[in-house]
Structure 1
Amino acid sequence: MDPVEIVQKEVQERRRAGRPPRALLSSARITRAALKLVTNDGYKGLTMAALAKSLNVAPSALYNHVSSKQDVLLLVEDHLMGKVDVSGFAGLPWTEAVTRWARSYRDVFASHLPLIPVIALLPVTNAPATITMYEAVTRGFQGAGWPEETIIDAVVALESFIYGSAYDVNAPADIFDAGDLAPTAPRFTAAVARRGAGGTGNAEIRNDADAAFELGLRAMVAGLAATLGPSAAPRH
């Protein structure tokens, strides 16, 4: 190799060495880091400074990708909503599809409990996976004959139940233990002791939280169909 080639090779190697092998940050990396912070430290632990530190970058580098904590939360919301199973709305009967969707939705957020109070109030604006999820749900409702003006109210009612049920998954086993006050509430205490004694034979039910969720979901699906669904739609 002649001297010119040697110099050219050294210049090329220095240029390659000066370039990062990949972008320092990406939406996916930011989302994963934000989820990890919330999991470890709760929602209050998710600050832009803490997020930048966890990514081993300067805050200024983080602000090149997201302009605010709201932007970070939007990434997190979209990531989680993208995990919710809407496949049933492509072909299953409405009751089965909405049941599959609700179960998946609850499971996703039961694993990310600190984010529920935030994401439940976060607009869906510019969140592609979230909008895709809602579009699939809406299409499924419409395909089942639901009046358009009732669909979003039904979805919101179901979501309220789903978020509450996600909390219940994480409730302590002795949440209904009356302790020393048990003698003053004998009926309640007896009902707590009998909880789940009958069994259901439902493979989806693994614990008390599942039993309560399945009971409530069946009631909600039947009730919504009876009051707002196609069978209740006014005849023209």
Structure 2
Amino acid sequence: MARPKVPLLNRDRIRDAALTLIDRDGLGELSMRKLAAELGVQAASLYTHYPTKDAVLDEIAAGIMARVDTSAFDRGNWRDGLTSWARSYRTALVRHPNFVAYLAAGPGTREENLRAADAVHGGLVAAGWPPRDATMIGAATRYLVMGATMGSFSRGFVDDVQVYRDRYPHLEQAHLLRAKADEIDSESFELALSAFTDGLTLRYEAILARRAKRQRTRTESAD
């Protein structure tokens, strides 16, 4: 009888298995030994494809970040660009909350992270934001997205009404949150994003007003 076919070990299989393990057990549980066991091979086989665990993680990070879309900044409207980027960013990360901690370490030298950072910063500056503000907006949006993807607020509650009703009168409906977790988490993110961009709009308008005032003053002085 012919031997049953075993899928060849390759980089795609290794990355997929690593992400499956992380999604299931957590980032801290990943090791080359456990990854090899997940794939049904010896750990030495992995090193033919990846020299270190971090090399595996970096490629997983690149794959996730490749799904983040910054193209809306090309249309010239900074608020639409920022909103679209933040939503796309959250969509890419929320599928793998256990991996977000690795991405939170910063863009470093990862190509996909730097590509996104460059597009965001360039789009904001081109729209009239001062470079320093553009840097802070990019960072603040990243904080917002990562905070919204590292864990679910709604799933942190249990569905037993007695846990909350007797001791926490203002949380008498908390036992209902788990049943609507996806809806609440998504709408809470949208609320935070809207409030954030509303505040930025006021700041942006003030910057433009000051810039226009300085220009008028220079024009009047020249006359």
User: Per-residue deviation at 1:174?
Assistant: 4.2
Deviations 1:92-126 (A, max 9, x none): 521111111111111211110111122211x4233
- How do 1:3-82 residues align onto structure 2 when only pairs under 5 Å count? 24-26=9-11, 28-82=12-66
* Matched letter for residue 200 of structure 2: L
User: Per-residue deviation at 1:88?
Assistant: 0.9
Q: Which residue is 2:85 aligned to?
A: 101
Q: Which residue is 2:101 aligned to?
A: 117
- How do 1:118-197 residues align onto structure 2 when only pairs under 5 Å count? 118-121=102-105, 123-167=106-150, 169=152, 171-172=154-155, 174=157, 179-182=162-165, 185-186=168-169, 188-189=170-171
1:232 aligns with 2:207: yes
Deviations 1:154-180 (A, max 9, x none): 111111111122245573284698745
1:222 aligns with 2:198: yes
CA RMSD of aligned residues (A): 3.2
Length, aligned pairs only? 201
* 8 Å Cα contact 1:31-1:72 kept in structure 2: yes
* 8 Å Cα contact 1:110-1:170 kept in structure 2: no
Q: Return 5+ residue gaps in structure 1 as ranges.
A: 1-21, 196-205
Higher fraction of helix: 2
1:90 aligns with 2:65: no
Q: Calculate the TM-score normalised by the size of structure 1.
A: 0.71
* 8 Å Cα contact 1:147-1:230 kept in structure 2: no
**Distance (whole Å) between structure 2 residues aligned to residue 177 and residue 94 of structure 1:** 45
* 8 Å Cα contact 2:78-2:124 kept in structure 1: yes
* 8 Å Cα contact 1:168-1:209 kept in structure 2: no
Q: Return 5+ residue gaps in structure 2 as ranges.
A: 1-6, 215-223
Change (3 A) 1:99 1:62: same
Identity of aligned residues (%): 28
Q: Looking at CA atoms only, which structure, 1 or 2, has the larger radius of gyration? A: 1
**Distance (whole Å) between structure 2 residues aligned to residue 168 and residue 49 of structure 1:** 27
* 8 Å Cα contact 2:15-2:56 kept in structure 1: yes
Whose RCO is larger (CA < 8 A, sep 6+)? 1
* 8 Å Cα contact 1:78-1:127 kept in structure 2: yes
